[in-house]
């Protein structure tokens, strides 16, 4: 799948976001992933005296495969960048995904106009981080009872002949 960027659109980074501790602590791959998430935003037409309204902020999705093909990074770089964005409070995962084919993880951007101030975690970053919200691997449930225990070898003790 090819990732296409709409060259006619863009996003204005406000100074309070750009110079914040949360944004300045990001590495290059996390900043590029953040910009890829921003490119996924869709907005409604601007009405008179009203700010821009983003219609899909709760369901932003940008997969590892798109990240690898478009930017040339590996999967672990994507995961590290995503985890860093969650840790500093710039994004929040709304759906885990990965259940079947086409089931993607979705995210919410917490710094765009229209997000309530109480949800803008990135403003509290140096004092607080959100590393508890980083998705962990699910426990391995298959084969737990049949795994070798400590001090046990894989060979049978009795001869079968």
pLDDT in tens, 43-64: 777 677 776 677 778 888 888 8
Q: Tell me which CATH code domain 15-133 carries.
A: 1.10.10.10
pLDDT in tens, 15-25: 998 999 999 99
Radius of gyration of the chain (CA): 21
The proportion of the chain whose per-residue pLDDT surpasses 70, expressed as a percent, equals: 80
Residue-range domain boundaries for the chain: 15-133
Asked if 95 and 106 count as a contact pair (C-beta separation under 8 A), the reply is yes
Mean pLDDT across the chain:
82
In the prediction, which pLDDT does 151 show?
67
Residues (pLDDT < 70) of the chain are 1-3, 46, 51-52, 138-144, 148-161
In the prediction, which pLDDT does 101 show?
85
In the prediction, which pLDDT does 44 show?
73
Q: How far apart (Å, rounded) are the C-alpha atoms in residues 135 and 50?
A: 36
For residue 20, give the nearest of 80, 74, 95, 88 by alpha carbon.
Answer: 88
In the prediction, which pLDDT does 129 show?
86
In the prediction, which pLDDT does 19 show?
93
């Amino acid at each position: 799948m090819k990732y296409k960027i709409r060259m006619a659109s863009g996003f204005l980074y406000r100074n309070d976001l750009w110079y914040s501790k949360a944004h300045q602590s990001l590495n290059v791959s996390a900043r590029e992933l953040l910009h890829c998430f921003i490119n996924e935003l869709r907005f409604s037409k601007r009405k008179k005296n009203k700010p821009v309204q983003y219609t899909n902020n709760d369901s932003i999705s940008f997969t590892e495969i798109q990240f690898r093909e478009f930017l040339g990074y590996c999967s672990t770089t994507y995961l590290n960048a995503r985890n860093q964005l969650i840790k500093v409070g710039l994004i929040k995962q709304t759906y885990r995904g990965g259940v079947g084919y086409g089931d993607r993880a979705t995210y919410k951007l917490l710094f765009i106009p229209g997000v309530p101030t109480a949800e803008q975690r990135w403003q509290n970053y140096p004092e607080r981080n959100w590393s508890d919200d980083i998705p962990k691997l699910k426990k391995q449930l298959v084969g737990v009872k049949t795994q070798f225990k400590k001090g046990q070898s894989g060979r049978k003790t009795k001869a079968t002949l």
